[in-house]
Amino acid sequence: MNNYQFLRFIPLLLSTQAMSSEFDLSFMNSDISGEKLDTSWFEQAIAPGEHMIDVELNGLSAQRMLIEFKQYATNNIQPCLSKAQLVDLNIKVPEVSKSCYVATDISTMATANYISSQSLLVLTVPDINIEKKDGKLKTPRSKWDEGVNSVKLNYNSYISDTSNSSNVNGYLGAQALATFGMWRLKGGGNLYKNGSVYNSNLSDFFVYRDIDSITSRANFGEIRTSNISAINGSLPLTGLRVAKATSMFKSHWNSYVPVLKDTALSSAKVTVLQNGLVLYSRVVPPGEFEIDDLDVSSTGADLELVIEESNGQIRRRTIPFTKLPSLLREGSFNYSISAGQYRNSNSSIQPAVLTGGLEYGLGVITPKFSSLLSEQYYYGELGVTYDLGRFGAMSFEGGATRYSSFDDNQDYSGFILKSLYAKQFYRSATSLQLVGYQYRSPDFLSFEEYVSTANQSDPERAGLGLRNRFEVSVNQPISEATLYLSYRYDTYHNSSLSGTSLYSSLNFSLGRISVGMNYTISDTVLANYGVSSDKRLGLSLSLPFGEKNDSSVVFSSTHEQNTGAFNNQLSYNGRTGNYDYSTTVSQTTNDTSTGNESVSAMVRNSTPYGQFSANIESNGETTSGSLSANGGLLIYEGGVVAAQYLGETTAIVQVDDAEELIVNHNPTLRTNKDGVVVIPYANDYGSNKVYINAEENSDVQLVEFSKNYVPRRGSTVLVNLKARVGKRVLVKLNTEENLFGEPVVSLDNQSDEMSFVGTDNIVYLSGIKPDQSATFVVGSGRCEFSINVSPDSKSLQDIVERSCN
């Protein structure tokens, strides 16, 4: 007998408690001939041969592959990957040609570890052996799934009533996204009732689709232009926009990070840290190495490169790093071009517009260009952003415009200059996050300012004429506290008035209490040349408690110094299971010692079908209450599924009519009675993983625990996972013939091997439908038996005896 066949009976071991003393596991000590059974291979829990398993490479999401396992020596069974599988995993194929490759063929530092409980092969391969093909994209284009045809509908609604009013107010908003192959149609609207007045509004309706050949996306309809231009970005148009689809690319490719180069004297571990946190770590061989794929999300903080040689020697080097949003990685670019008719319901004219822009990363420099052409209005802009190394980062932008006035048809021209500077001071940890300066000539107008002069909707404000604007913001850690300051100063061409704004905050902790203090001073120049002044002082205290810090008491107070008013709030917030709740007491007083108090309470329930909440508030004179609901509906060929509020990219998971299965460890994501659940958010163009947990349904035997999918933006990907739904039963076959190791199949579906015969002719079966007779065949017709279980029976409660027909 082939000893490795025994692996097929591992599921039988799981049922030993149900079999009690009737199921003797001592059969593991010998085979049917009484000879000692060789179980040394059992420690690896896998036999030689081909196995369909999940393969995980360097901690990345696993993918399903048919892997061959070979025995090379006693107790040495190793996975052997074919050349095609190495290519599929983006592993460099070794120069020595073989039919298949074990981990040590790839690199002496590569390892392969098989986890039997998860049917998972974990591969660890040095970065130098990874083929960086199409490394700019999150995943290869061939894996992008356009999904199934579907319609996603989100709703957001509330209804409210007040004790002293007979009117009921309400709101209903809806957003829809229809998917047809590669095409997406998006739009929505809302309906609002205030007293006896009804208002409605339609949001932007547009169609979009991917253009893979140029990694771009095209939008048609009620669109908005991109914001490459610092002045004339994000304009509403009815027309066409084609722009680079940045979400197709890895996050580190879309932003600037310096390329780190150094030399390793031996096989060394290279680590990059920022503020003490590890950003990057890998082992490199002797010689020069280059790190060009750092992913740094912060705006600035010096990087520390640590090289640990194999002899224990450690070398450290600090790399100054400051980043502005407009800095791009070398070789990366961003572009957009839009054409259409300007769209603004408040404007008396809607001229045709052609606009576009391009920015390109050239190492430490990123130049950019943008322009806008319209009827009687022309604008051009040039800019450049520099990485100044230890001196920070700076950008310069200049734009010029020429237009014809609607009043006198005279031609005017103007220009604008802008600069930004940022710097992280390593020793003091001071972050000079933004220093900005802007100058506008007297006749400069942005496109929207120019269009607004056509109907003189706000001529007085246009008459102020912004001249200079200076902005600065600083973030400074002070021991365990953080101080933040921001300041803005404006001057005008046609007025001696100036506008200022100062905001400061200090945040720190006193034990478990989080403390926040803030102070605001602002002088705003109004359209009528007046000045509105405001001074506010605020304080907030927050104390979390509970086993998981899922409850808190929060106090906040604001003092308006101009009016003498105080606004105080004390609230309690908590969470139990899927319920969130809060209670708030508010008090408002002013300088005349008059004021009012109010009490409010809220409870919200998060379900697989949306969020539903109730709120009540009373101030002693009136009481008001409201009910609100938000969620989603997904319509596809399989039917209509109620879901949580849906993102643009989603997935439908189907698990063979298995209900109450928890998805991705989220208790609010559970399969319904049809075995269907909607994952409301997914990472478009990236690898996503579905994981199913059947612990709360004893009548479900999962055949597939997890699966990966890579959705396009806006797609609805259908993910099917196999399971056997029904009772689990242990059957003892009463026959003198020894059937040990024979496969067991259903008579109705003989292509699906359901189990194998174990010792003492005991068979483990799953997915048995109650009150339905099921017939099974053992081997090639050596035995045939039928079984019928009661709906009230418990899985694996007893051993059922059957005779072979």
As a whole number of angstroms, the distance between CA 15 and CA 729 comes to 10
559 membership: H or E segment, kind and range: strand 551-560
- Tell me yes or no: is domain 648-724 CATH 2.60.40.2610: yes
| pTM score, whole prediction | 0.74
* pLDDT tens for each residue of 613-667: 999 999 878 899 999 999 999 999 999 999 999 999 999 999 988 888 889 888 8
Q: How far apart are the first and last CA of the chain?
A: 26
3-state secondary structure labels for all residues of 689-702:
EEEEECCCCCCEEE
Does 38-133 match 258-319 in CATH topology?
no
Residues 133, 681 contacting (CB under 8 angstroms): no
Residues 471, 436 contacting (CB under 8 angstroms): yes
Residue at 195: amino acid letter: G
Q: Per the structure block, which two tokens stand in for 395?
A: 């950008």
296 or 498, higher pLDDT? 498
103 membership: H or E segment, kind and range: helix 103-106
Residue 463 is predicted with a pLDDT of: 63
pLDDT at 359 over 90: yes
Q: What percent of the chain has pLDDT over 70?
A: 90
Closest of 763, 760, 758, 782 to residue 774, by C-alpha? 763
- Ranked by mean pLDDT, the top range of 310-314, 525-529, 788-792 is 310-314
What is the mean predicted confidence (pLDDT) over 452-463?
Answer: 60
Q: Per the structure block, which two tokens stand in for 630?
A: 């938000």
Classified as helix, coil or strand, 390 is helix
As a whole number of angstroms, the distance between CA 176 and CA 188 comes to 6
pLDDT at 92 over 90: no
Residue 128: beta bridge partners?
none
The topology (CATH level 3) of 258-319 is: Immunoglobulin-like (2.60.40)
Q: What does the domain layout of the chain look like in residue ranges?
A: 38-133, 258-319, 648-724, 726-803
As a whole number of angstroms, the distance between CA 787 and CA 802 comes to 8
- Tell me yes or no: is domain 38-133 CATH 3.10.20.410: yes
Sheet of strand 666-670: strand arrangement: 666-670, 662-663, 688-693, 706-709
Residue 643: beta bridge partners?
632
The residues, any chain, with a CB within 8 Å of residue 497's CB and separated by 6 or more, are: 525, 529, 531
Residue 26 is predicted with a pLDDT of: 43
Closest of 617, 613, 608 to residue 629, by C-alpha? 613
pLDDT band at 193 (very low <50, low <70, confident <90, very high): confident
pLDDT at 117 over 50: yes
275 or 92, higher pLDDT? 92
> What would the DSSP string read from start to end of 251-294?
GGGSS--PPEEEEESSSEEEEEEETTEEEEEEEE-SEEEEE---
pLDDT band at 13 (very low <50, low <70, confident <90, very high): very low
pLDDT band at 221 (very low <50, low <70, confident <90, very high): very high
Half-sphere exposure of 152 (CA within 13 A, CB side): 28
Closest of 691, 529, 507, 504 to residue 119, by C-alpha? 691
Average pLDDT of the chain, as a whole number? 85
Residue at 153: amino acid letter: L
Residue 613: beta bridge partners?
604, 628
> What would the DSSP string read from start to end of 299-328?
SB--EEEEEE-TTS-EEEEEE--B--TT--
pLDDT at 28 over 50: no
pLDDT at 383 over 90: yes
Closest of 617, 620, 613, 608 to residue 663, by C-alpha? 608
In 361-480, where do the E strands start and end? 365-374, 377-387, 393-404, 411-425, 430-440, 466-478
Q: What is the dihedral of CA 13, 16, 18, 21, to 10 degrees?
A: 150
pLDDT band at 287 (very low <50, low <70, confident <90, very high): low
pLDDT at 16 over 50: no
The residues, any chain, with a CB within 8 Å of residue 228's CB and separated by 6 or more, are: 334, 335, 336, 356, 357, 358, 359, 368, 370
pLDDT band at 160 (very low <50, low <70, confident <90, very high): very high
pLDDT at 174 over 70: yes
In this structure, which CATH number among 2.60.40.2070, 2.60.40.420, 1.10.10.10, 3.40.50.300 belongs to the domain 726-803? 2.60.40.2070
Residue 145 is predicted with a pLDDT of: 93
Q: Per the structure block, which two tokens stand in for 795?
A: 């899985």
267 or 389, higher pLDDT? 389
pLDDT at 475 over 70: yes
